[in-house]
Amino acid sequence: MKNSKLLFWDASAGRCGGSNAPQVYAAKTQRPTPDFARLHQELQSHRHLTLGLLWEEYRQNHPDGYGYSRFCELYRRWRRRLDVVLRQEHKAGEKLFVGYAGDTIAIHDPKGGPIRQASIFVAVLGASNYTYAEAAWSQGLEDWLGAHIHTFEFFQGVPQLVVTDFVPGNKIEPAFTRHAAQSCEGMLM
């Protein structure tokens, strides 16, 4: 084995050749390119749609198409060209962004009680992205205010401005603002 050479078939010469003979490379096959603009629009339109589901659909239509990791890489490369990022500068302690996140979640009683739905309240400081979250039984005024109080206790302070996300069914009126200020009055001192 010490003096053995790797031999391969040189089809053009019709003979065996050594390491100096030309090597044969497989031709690259052209894979069907996904319509990334359509995929992006679908992702924006359907909140539970993922790249994984879109890739599965793509592979059903194109069995010889890209693998999942390459598909995601190509999509992300395409998306970077959109340049739709709005950079916002935030000063520390200036803004707190609050709202309810997505769909409700099921809460299971460990003692076998009924399954209840809960909303997830999320609060994020603008400058640091420091985050507080809690489950609430409703998106009503009492739970909304309670979540704010718990948030301020967690952060051990109050920002200059609380920026609320749109909460369907809730109207933020002057009465709400007065009630919130009264609820938090002790914390502001």
Query: How confident is the model at residue 27, as a pLDDT?
Result: 55
Q: Going residue by residue through the chain (189 aa), what tens digit of pLDDT does each one get?
A: 454 445 455 555 555 555 555 555 555 678 888 888 899 889 888 888 899 999 999 999 999 999 999 999 999 998 888 866 667 777 887 888 898 888 888 988 888 888 999 999 999 988 788 899 999 998 888 888 889 999 999 989 888 888 887 655 555 554 455 555 565 565 544
Chain-centroid distance, C-alpha 144: 25
Query: How confident is the model at residue 117, as a pLDDT?
Result: 92
Domain layout of the chain by residue ranges: 29-85, 95-188
Q: Buried (b) or exposed (e) across 32-54, using 16+ Cβ within 10 A?
A: eebebeebeeebeeeeeeeeeeb
Query: How confident is the model at residue 170, as a pLDDT?
Result: 55
Query: With contact defined as beta carbons under 8 Å apart, do 47 and 102 qualify?
Result: yes
Domain 95-188: which topology? Nucleotidyltransferase; domain 5 (3.30.420)
